Each structure stands twice: as structure tokens, then as C-alpha cells.
Amino acid sequence: MSLNQISKVYATALLELAQETNSLESTEEELSSLVDIFFSDDTIRHYFLSPLVDPSEKEQTAAKSVQGKASEIVANFITLVVRKNRFLYLKDILEDYRTGVDRLRNRSSLRIVSKESLGKEAVDRITKSISSKFGRDVRVTEHMDPALIGGFKIYIDDFLIDASIRAKLAGTREALLQKKIPVGAFE
């Protein structure tokens, strides 16, 4: 089973449980905060990924660490993921879970990638424009990519809108290559 399939299976199972208990958003918030905690600290992440730590010890540690900090569904889910040695997939499971919630809520995922933060006003304009164009609500996340020269890229569902300087330069280059200038035209 590929990484993509593993995370989808776990996310779908959690989505079904959360839907039955009418707790889609709260489950997402809890899972998101736990994933942030688990992956923000190298010591915690290495502990759960280490082949030297006994699996039952990892499971007990996970159960104790989430007890009282998360709902029963999320606590049991985290424990299950650790028991099945799927801790590495938690971030992907969270993303697939978010995608499932968005699909159920008729919402699109909008990811804006830019060199620097665009600011609230620009993000709001982009969000409003995309929302009206696609006719649905959008969930916005903003990411910084220092490799971009300037401009931004927008990922919405399966679409990419590339308004980066690099894309514009590549387009200009391609247009110049397509234009066949006769020899001696500049003499």
C-alpha cells in the first residue's frame, strides 16, 4: 500500500467516526494541534519513529500524552496510529482528513505560496475572487517559499494559478523562442 493510500484509509476512517458524532471541525482542530505538538519537537518525533523504542511503550506513551487533552475519538485514533506503526503518516492523514471535511462542507482548499506574506488585504481579495469564481467557500492557507523570485502561486483543489515572476519569465522566453526572427532583421 502506498503512502497516499495509507493516509487516505486512516483519514477516511476518522472522518466517518467524526461524522457519526457530529464533530468534524473539533476533531480536525484537536488532531491538528496534536500533530503540531508531535512534529514540532524533534525529541518527541524521534521517540515515536525510533525502532529502538518498544512499540508497546510507544503506544502507552501516546495514550498518556493525549489523555485528557483530546476527545475520546482523537485520543483513540492517535493510539491506534502509534500501535499500527503509522506515526510517520500523521501529517498526511491530517491533510487527507481536511480534504474530506472540505468535500463534505462543499468547500475548496486554497493555498497561496509567495516569497513573503502578501498581507491580509491581498489575501482577502484573492479569497473573495476565487470564492466567487468557483462558487464555493474556501479554506485559505498561506505558505512562504524563499525560492520564488516574486509574485505568487495559487493552488485551488486541482488547479494551479501561477502568477510568479519565474513563470512570467518562462512565458516570455517561450514566446521569444516561438517567434522566428529572420536573420539580419536587427542589422
Residue-wise pLDDT tens digits, 54-69: 989 988 998 888 888 8
Burial class (CB in 10 A: 0-12, 13-18, 19+), 56: exposed
Cell of 42: 524533534
| pLDDT at residue number 53 | 87
Please compute the mean of the pLDDT values over residues 38-56 and round it to a whole number.
89
Per-residue model confidence (pLDDT) at position 186: 55
What would the grid cell of residue 48 be? 515515536
Indicate if the pLDDT at residue 157 is higher than 80: no
Taking a C-beta distance cutoff of 8 angstroms, is the pair 104, 97 a contact? Answer: no
Q: What is the pTM of this model?
A: 0.70
pLDDT-derived band at 3, boundaries 50, 70, 90: low
- Choose which CATH entry (1.25.40.80, 3.40.120.10, 1.10.520.20, 1.20.1260.10) describes domain 3-103: 1.10.520.20
pLDDT at 16: 92
Architecture of domain 106-178: 3-Layer(aba) Sandwich (3.40)
